[in-house]
Amino acid sequence: MAVIHNTTMSPGKLELLAAWLPSRPWYVASGREPELTKAGGFRLDDPEGEVGIEFMVVTDTSGDTPVSYHVPLSYRGAPLGGADQALVGTSEHGVLGKRWIYDGAHDPVLVAQLLAFLQGRAEAQAQSVSGTPDPSVTGHFTGAGFSAEVASLAVTDGQDGTAVVVEPGADSGPESTLALRVTRTLPAPEERAEGLATAGTRGQVTAGWRLPDGSEGRAPFVLVGDAPH
């Protein structure tokens, strides 16, 4: 079980994300520096207890219309080999010391636990309270099961979000290769969240976040389909 420490991080997550987000192709530029607030999210536990896993939502109010972003993050006590391009930044944690913070779409531990959650073998946890499940986060997958072991990831960022092709472990057949689509720009209240789903979708993870007017939005955070062969 991940322990949520009531302590400081320097620089803080929002500060790191404000510097990192404008470099992403899916970021909606406002012409000004991002002004971020935390708007929700959830966590998953790493069974080994080594990597922090958070699916964070931040809202940028720097433009005329607020925009909410879904940012999976992984927190590590040492650099993740071969993932320099995915590094959001480093921060000094008041209890754990120096932490390397990565775009979680590139982290095999985060992706493995996401796959486990889709198969009902992991439970979503509250974002800010230790040992507290979050039943509002739902996941489903149709069809045959698949390995949650991740051999490799191929990650592509685009204006419409992030595509992740997951190669399974050695004991899995090629048919178990999966394509994840990570939703980055969450729909505004007037948009239909269902429109994020596409033909061939076999599963999804859906969660909520706080809208600027105080109501709640809900949308697929991750869509799952078969990878093209």
Residue 55 pLDDT: 98
- Across the chain, which has 229 residues, the per-10-residue mean pLDDT values are 66 95 94 95 94 97 95 96 95 82 97 93 90 93 78 93 86 69 89 55 94 93 83
Nearest to 196 by CA among 182, 178, 208: 182
Domain map of the chain by residue range?
Answer: 9-226
Distance CA 164, CA 194 (A): 21
Nearest to 102 by CA among 117, 89, 93: 89
Give the H or E element holding residue 212.
none
Residue 196 pLDDT: 52
Distance CA 215, CA 10 (A): 31
Q: Which amino acid is at 59?
A: T
Residue 111 pLDDT: 95
Residue 170 pLDDT: 60
Residue 190 pLDDT: 64
Residues 6+ apart with CB under 8 A from 76: 50, 51, 52, 99, 100, 101, 102
Residues 6+ apart with CB under 8 A from 72: 53, 54, 55, 56, 103, 104, 105, 110, 182
State the pTM of this model.
0.91
